[in-house]
Structure 1
Amino acid sequence: MKTITPYLFFPGNCEEAMDFYKECLNGEITALQRFGDTEMPVEDDHKRKIMHGELKAEGITIMFSDGAPHKEITRGNNVQLSINLESEKEQDRIFEALAEEGEITMPLENTFWGARYGML
């Protein structure tokens, strides 16, 4: 199934934001992975920060992150859209089409967390 999910980035207060949305939407946190739980080399002060979180509430899905340690979060530019597609062929086609007018910040590739992922 094709879906588009908002991905919200926070400057170090992601866990607090997730709890806020959970309470407001009467939702459930369905995924939570900290940078320290991954293979990524990060400074000690970033290990407890959230690399990826997901909340579901009555047909709504929102993803969350504190963002990569080397990227500054700018309020107003802290929302991305995650397009989830079923086939690699469709992923390639759409990624290439969007890349024509966009800037690839992470090539579409298999990742250590088990997904095929890219960023524009």
Structure 2
Amino acid sequence: MRTINPWINFNGNAEEAFAFYKSVFGGEFTKIIRFKDLASAEFQVPEKEVDKIMYIALPIGQHNVLIANDVPEFMGGVNESENRSKILVSAESREEADKVFSGLSAGGEVEGDIGDTPWGTYAGMFRDKYGIEWIVEFDPSL
């Protein structure tokens, strides 16, 4: 397994929060994807959400990455009193991703089946039987 990193959900202020985190931790963002970057005929994005963050990553130290996204309105708001973060498992292969996804999601609720993503990774997300939210991803470019 490559790494396990925290993934935080925001209600439209991920970019602001990450600018703050960057001012504290230093470093540079390795990737910023906005919802408009993924817009297509199959994935239509409302105008008011095109500039929201789909994915932002800030490396912290040599092996850790803090990741976040804005939750689109159609998915409902994030309640700060509830779980608003996910644990991201970065697998070393598709096979490892499938094994981890299958094992951890057993008895839980799959929110996004594991498969190829529009941004070039192989990923899926779920809430395990204990209510913890996970994303399992394999990025062949790493």
Q: What is the TM-score with the length of structure 1 in the denominator?
A: 0.93
Q: Which protein has greater RCO, CA pairs closer than 8 Å, 6+ apart? A: 1
Task: Provide the secondary structure at the position in 2 that maps to 1:105.
Answer: strand
Are residue 61 (structure 1) and residue 87 (structure 2) matched? no
Counting matched residue pairs gives 120
Residue matched to 1:22: 22
Task: Provide the secondary structure at the position in 2 that maps to 1:21.
Answer: helix
- Equivalent-residue separation in structure 2 for 1:31 and 1:64 (angstroms): 11
Residue pairs, 1:100-111, within 5 angstroms: 100-111=106-117
Q: How far 1:91 sits from its partner (Å)?
A: 1.2
Task: Provide the secondary structure at the position in 2 that maps to 1:104.
Answer: strand
Residue pairs, 1:8-47, within 5 angstroms: 8-39=8-39, 40-47=43-50
Are residue 114 (structure 1) and residue 117 (structure 2) matched? no
Q: Give the alignment partner of residue 95 of structure 2, picking from 71, 81, 89.
A: 89
Residue matched to 1:3: 3
Q: How far 1:69 sits from its partner (Å)?
A: 3.2
Unaligned runs of 5+ in 2: 127-142
- 2:69 maps to a residue whose letter is S
Q: Give the alignment partner of residue 49 of structure 1, picking from 48, 52, 75.
A: 52
- Equivalent-residue separation in structure 1 for 2:104 and 2:73 (angstroms): 26
- Equivalent-residue separation in structure 2 for 1:57 and 1:99 (angstroms): 28
- Equivalent-residue separation in structure 2 for 1:87 and 1:22 (angstroms): 30
- 1:109 maps to a residue whose letter is G
- Equivalent-residue separation in structure 2 for 1:110 and 1:52 (angstroms): 16
Q: 4+ residue runs of structure 1 moved beyond 6 angstroms?
A: none
Q: Deviations 1:30-66 (Å, cap 9, x if unpaired)?
A: 1101101113311100001000000013233101111
